[in-house]
Amino acid sequence: MRILVTGVTGQVGSALATKLAAFGTVVPAARTVLDLTQPQDIGPRLDEISPDVIVNPAAYTAVDRAEDERDLAFVVNAEAPRALAQWAARRRVPLLHFSTDYVYSGHGSVAWKECDETGPLSVYGASKLAGEAAIREAAGQHLIVRTSWVYAPTGSNFLRTIMRLAGEREELRIVADQIGAPTSAAIIADALAAFFASAGGLPSAIERTGGLVHVAAAGSTSWHGFATAIVEGLRARGVPLKVERLLPIGTADYPTKAQRPINSRLDLSKLEQVLGRSTPDWSAGLATVLDDLVASGI
């Protein structure tokens, strides 16, 4: 089985490329192989590659910059997935695609279910939602995975930013009123691998999810809670840090170009039904990543 994986230089794509190698030949499709700003070229490229499964974690992920680059965000996050999905539907090839908690409005404090109404607050969220719709329209075999607050040992993410700032500054001010589940790319890759490995394989997992599923770490916290756990986790592992105070602040005190949901909690009951188990708690996912970072000298 030839498994085409996009976004292999990114957090999720890189974890998936490693993990899915157990189920076939991974064909890594970085930007140089498949440029998602050129949707018209996607079909012909896929004809050449001829994958049996397409896994698409690649995306335009610069949430604030998207407010100024609307067209580009929609091409990469909606038109390119449309082209992938149309090719996949024609060839009867399953498509695994990734989406985000930012498709929700963030109102209330109850965890969002897959069937809840969406209401993106940002261009990025709207572009990802348009990608979901385009994939559904193509009407092929597909699974859309909505995840949240992704981080990995490498790349540009909240964990890496806090690690750097905690080494440089005595005081950090961190947003404490946005709630979600920090999710390591490894947790996502493990869940996706479990879909491939499940009885009946990927087609059966896709059928049982009905084409849309939340995949995230269990539990929830705020960005402030996550930052505190990162700092405490690093100190507990003997990493010297300069930071002395982590001050909780409100979203209103940290203006950003794009508006983020206050409530990013994702209900995971559908995932738990399909997997037959829950995902690790966000704090356990963090502990694993910190152990790996410290073991590799950071």
Ligand X SMILES: NC(=O)c1ccc[n+]([C@@H]2O[C@H](COP(=O)([O-])OP(=O)(O)OC[C@H]3O[C@@H](n4cnc5c(N)ncnc54)[C@H](OP(=O)(O)O)[C@@H]3O)[C@@H](O)[C@H]2O)c1
Query: x/- string (CB under 6 A) for ligand X, residues 14-33?
Result: -----------------x--
Nearer to ligand X, 116 or 237 (CB): 116
Site membership for ligand X, residue 100 (CB under 6 A): yes
Residue number closest to ligand X, CB atom: 10
Tell me how far, at minimum, the Cβ of 242 lies from ligand X, in Å.
Answer: 26
**Of the candidate residues 76, 176, 231, 268, the single one contacting ligand X (CB under 6 A):** 76
Site membership for ligand X, residue 12 (CB under 6 A): yes
Kindly provide the b/e burial profile for residues 262-280, where b requires at least 16 CB atoms within 10 angstroms of the residue's own CB: bbbbbbbebbeebbeeebb
Give me 197's structure tokens. 């490995």
Give me 240's structure tokens. 């010297």
H or E segment and range at residue 232: helix 223-236
Number of residues that bind ligand X (CB under 6 A): 27
Tell me how far, at minimum, the Cβ of 226 lies from ligand X, in Å.
Answer: 12
Site membership for ligand X, residue 11 (CB under 6 A): yes
**Of the candidate residues 112, 149, 223, 282, the single one contacting ligand X (CB under 6 A):** 149
Site membership for ligand X, residue 98 (CB under 6 A): yes
Site membership for ligand X, residue 128 (CB under 6 A): yes
Which part of the chain contacts ligand X (CB under 6 A), choosing from 82-90, 107-115, 146-154, 270-278? 146-154
One DSSP character per residue, 183-200 reads EEHHHHHHHHHHHHHSTT
How far CA 88 is from CA of 6, 55, 261, in Å, comes to: 14, 11, 32
Site membership for ligand X, residue 37 (CB under 6 A): yes
* Helix-, strand-, coil-residue percentages of the chain, each rounded to 5: 45, 15, 35
**Of the candidate residues 2, 18, 24, 35, the single one contacting ligand X (CB under 6 A):** 35
The residues with which 213 forms a beta bridge, in sequence order, are 145
Nearest to 284 by CA among 145, 194, 186, 162: 186
d(CA 215, CA 142): 15
Tell me how far, at minimum, the Cβ of 101 lies from ligand X, in Å.
Answer: 6
Tell me how far, at minimum, the Cβ of 160 lies from ligand X, in Å.
Answer: 11
Catalytic one among 102, 104, 124, 151? 124
Sign for the pseudo-dihedral over CA of 5, 6, 12, 14: positive
Give me 110's structure tokens. 């109850």
Report the chain's terminal Cα–Cα distance, integer Å. 35
Site membership for ligand X, residue 184 (CB under 6 A): no
| 151 included as an active-site residue | no
Positions touching ligand X (CB under 6 A) are 6-7, 9-13, 31, 34-37, 57-61, 76, 98, 100-101, 128, 147-150, 155
Catalytic residue numbers, as ranges:
124
